[in-house]
Amino acid sequence: MLISSDRRTQKLLPKHKNLVAFYSSTIINASERSDYAEANILMELVPGRLLDELTSRYKEGKVFSELEVLTILRDVCEAINVLHQHNPPIAHRDVKSAFEDSFS
């Protein structure tokens, strides 16, 4: 089951300032006769709305400074590097966000 595999991987995540911390999870089966299951995941609350602010700013036609772009890119690369340096390496399957959709 994909959810179980994801839960195992989340437990392996190292602590890093650019990775959201995973605390716990449960899977609740709605029925023994069904393949349906509900997953509850408890993760770190990340305060702020930076992504929404960046999306709004882009839609308003405001340009990002070179420093802002490099800072965002550095933070994402640091997090991915931590995952790839883990033993065994952890590959993120879907590095994108709602912000990416703003460019479409």
Catalytic residue positions?
A: 94
36 Cβ neighbours under 8 A, 6+ residues apart: 29, 30
99 Cβ neighbours under 8 A, 6+ residues apart: 51, 54, 55, 58
Q: Are 103 and 97 in contact (CB under 8 A)?
A: no
Write down the number of H helices and E strands in the chain.
4, 2
